[in-house]
Structure 1
Amino acid sequence: MQRHETILNILAKEKHVEVLDLCKQLNVSAVTIRKDLKLLEEKGLLFRTHGGASLENPYIKEKAVIEKEKISVEEKNGIAQAAATKIDENDSIMIASGTTVQALSKFIKPKNKLTVITSSLYAVLHLIHDKNIEILQLGGYIRHSSASVIGTYASQILDSISCSKLFLGVDGIDFDYGLSTTSLEEAQLNQKMLASAQKIIVLADSSKFGKKSFAKICNLNAIDEIITDRGISSTIKKKLEENGVKVTVV
Structure 2
Amino acid sequence: MTGQERREAIVRYLAAHERARVDDLAQHLGVSVVTIRSDLRLLENAGYVVRMHGVVVLSQNTAAEIAFAERRQKHSGVKGKIGAEAARLVNNGDSIILDAGTTTLEIARHLKQHEALLVMTNGLDIAMELSHAPGVEIIMLGGKLRKTALSCSGAEAEASLSHHRFDRLFLGVDAMELTRGLTTDHENEASLNRAMIAIADEVVAVTDSSKADRKSVYLVSNFDGIDRLVTDDQLPDAYIEALRHEHHVEVILS
TM-score range, shorter chain: 0.7 to 0.9
Pairwise CA RMSD of aligned residues?
A: 1.2
Aligned runs of 1:59-78 on 2, under 5 Å? 64-78=67-81
Distance in 1 (alpha carbons) for counterparts of 2:195 and 2:85: 25
Tell me the equivalent position of 2:198: 195
- What residue in structure 1 maps to residue 138 of structure 2? 135
Query: Scaled by the length of structure 1, what TM-score is found?
Result: 0.73
Match of 2:209 in 1: 206
CA contact (8 A) 1:200 1:224 kept: yes
- Offset, 1:110: 3.9
Partners of 2:125 and 2:209 lie apart in 1 by 23
Task: Tell me the CA shift for residue 67 of structure 1.
Answer: 2.2
Distance 2:152 2:225 in 1: 23
1:245 and 2:252 equivalent? no
The alpha carbon displacement at 1:131 in A equals 1.5
- TM-superposed CA distance for 1:97, in Å, is 1.3
Query: What is the Cα deviation at residue 185 of structure 1?
Result: 0.4
Q: Contact 2:112–2:130 at 8 Å: present in 1 too? A: no
Tell me the distance in 2 between the aligned counterparts of 1:160 and 1:106: 27
Would the aligned equivalents of 1:119 and 1:139 in 2 still touch at CA under 8 Å? yes
Partners of 1:225 and 1:248 within 8 A in 2: yes
Question: TM-score, normalised to structure 2's length?
Answer: 0.72
The count of corresponding residues between Structure 1 and Structure 2 is 188
- C-alpha separation in 1, matches of 2:205 and 2:252: 10
Q: 1:94 aligns with which of 94, 97, 105?
A: 97
String of CA shifts for 1:87-109, please: whole Å, max 9, x gaps: 01111000001111111111113
The runs of at least 4 aligned residues of structure 1 exceeding 3 Å deviation read none
- The answer to whether residue 80 in structure 2 is matched with residue 80 in structure 1 is no
2: CA distance between counterparts of 1:103 and 1:215? 25
Provide the secondary structure at the position in 2 that maps to 1:165. Answer: strand
Secondary structure (helix, strand or coil) at the match of 1:166 reads strand
Which structure 2 residues correspond to residues 137-156 of structure 1 after superposition, within 5 A?
137-156=140-159
Q: From 183, 186, 193, give the equivalent of 1:183.
A: 186
Aligned match of 1:23: none
2-side partners of 1:111 and 1:99: how far apart?
20
Amino acid corresponding to residue 205 of structure 2 in structure 1: V
Counterpart residue number, 1:108? 111
1:120 and 2:115 correspond: no
Deviations 1:148-184 (A, max 9, x none): 1011111011011100000000111111111011200
Cα distance change of structure 1 residues 111 and 149 upon mapping to structure 2, 3 Å threshold = closer
Task: Please give the alpha-carbon distance, in whole angstroms, between the structure 2 residues aligned to 1:124 and 1:157.
Answer: 16
- Asked if 2 retains the 8 angstrom alpha-carbon contact of 1:65 and 1:98, the reply is no
CA distance in 2, matches of 1:109, 1:238: 34
Q: Deviation of residue 72 (structure 1)?
A: 0.8
SS of structure 2 residue aligned to 1:248: strand
The residue number in structure 2 matching 1:4 is: none
Q: Give the match's secondary structure for 2:91.
A: coil
Check conservation: 2:114, 2:136, Cα contact below 8 A.
Answer: no
Is the contact between residue 89 and residue 110 of structure 1 (CA under 8 Å) also seen in structure 2? no
Higher RCO (CA 8 Å, separation ≥ 6 residues): 1
Q: Which whole-Å deviations, capped at 9, do the CAs of 1:60-106 have from their partners, x for residues lacking one? A: xxx94322111111110000001111001111000001111111111
Unmatched 5+ residue regions in structure 1?
Answer: 1-62
